Amino acid sequence: MSEIPEVVVLRLPLYARALELLRQEGVEVISSQGLGARLQVTPAQIRKDLSYFGRFGKQGRGYNVSGLLGELRQILGLDREWPIAVVGVGRLGGAIISYPGFGPHGFRVVAAFDTDPFQIGERAGGLVVQSMDELKSTVHEKGIELAVVAVPPSQAQAVIDALVDCGVKAILNYAPVAARVPQGVLLREVDPVVSLQSMTFHLKSMRGGPS
């Protein structure tokens, strides 16, 4: 499975999310046209992306919604629960810990950490905030492979290094810094400024021409 383009891997969760909604709406079968229209993706793109993983659906019959969703969840490794650690329990970290979207998708925040001594021992969501000194033992005890980082930019790289050091293999970083991880560790970023800037580029062009 190593030759699958990363852009395809990034689209699979979007397909799964759309199928989940369709299932909730009681839709049992959907064509690649129908799924494409929901996602603003061409039907050809959907068929091509799915073809990396085998044959789904029958020519002219569309996809069985539950069936394809089940296959995608298995492909994405979501046929199990993934325990997550959140580091940083400020306003953003607090919102992440309480985010209701994780549970239904197989993720569960099982530990919360902060570097601020005033936060340690306090509650965040249903968790007691722990000191970074307890990171390693907690990661091992709870089998944590995924972590979310929501600390200030100046602390992000050090926190990420500590997570890597404890054996965490995948990190979602909300701090607006270009953090580095060693080979074999996955890093994704959530930075609203980057998303906004890619839109202002187009807004500027839509207005008419170079400045």
**What residues make contact with a second copy under the rule CB under 8 A?**
1-2, 6, 9-10, 12-14, 16-18, 21, 38-40, 74-79, 82, 84, 90-92, 94-96, 98-99, 101-102, 105-107, 145-146, 148, 153, 169-170, 172, 176-178, 180, 184, 186, 188, 190-206, 210-211
Minimal distance in Å, beta carbon 128 to a second copy?
A: 19
CA dist., res. 70 & res. 20, Å (int): 10
By C-beta, is 51 or 74 nearer to a second copy?
Answer: 74
Minimal distance in Å, beta carbon 59 to a second copy?
A: 25
Instruction: List, as own/partner pairs, every contact residues 133-136 make where C-beta atoms lie below 8 angstroms and the sequence separation is at least 24, other chains included.
Output: 135/85, 135/87, 135/162, 135/163, 135/166, 136/165, 136/166
Q: Which amino acid is at 61?
A: R
Token representation of residue 61: 């019959």
Minimal distance in Å, beta carbon 153 to a second copy?
A: 8
By C-beta, is 59 or 195 nearer to a second copy?
Answer: 195
By C-beta, is 44 or 196 nearer to a second copy?
Answer: 196
By C-beta, is 166 or 170 nearer to a second copy?
Answer: 170
Minimal distance in Å, beta carbon 98 to a second copy?
A: 6
